[in-house]
Amino acid sequence: MGETTDGNDGAHSWHKTENICLGFNSGGAPEGVEGYDANMAILAGLLESKGMFNAENDNFNLVTVPLKEAQASWNFALLREDRSKAVHDPDYAKALIANSIEALQP
């Protein structure tokens, strides 16, 4: 990652910050991909309805589920922990979300 500008961001921590993003994106801080937040909320709701995720405490529950549902949970965790709101590869992120929603729907 980039060098710190004030001692609180970047360096070699792998924590993404706005200062680092601005160094790569001259147009300003990216805001995310259109519809990302809404679709992630749908995915979180589906995971919660299956007992796999607890939105109140923002944690995953240890449960046994079919493989496709486990994969959907993994996709959700991957995208959530990335924290870029899909700006680095929007098409891939959209596909992950769509496939995960499809896998969790009855």
Q: What's the distance, CA 104 to chain centroid?
A: 17
Domain ranges of the chain: 1-29, 31-104
CB distance 1 to 20 below 8 Å = yes
Let me know if 30 is exposed, middle or buried by CB neighbors in 10 A (0-12, 13-18, 19+): middle
* Nearest residue to 17 via CA among 83, 87, 79: 83
14-28, 46-60, 67-81, 84-98: the lowest-pLDDT one: 14-28
Q: Where are the beta strands (DSSP E) in the chain?
A: 53-54, 59-60
Q: What is the pLDDT of residues 37-58, one digit of tens each?
A: 999 999 999 999 999 999 999 9
Residue 106: pLDDT band with limits 50, 70, 90: confident
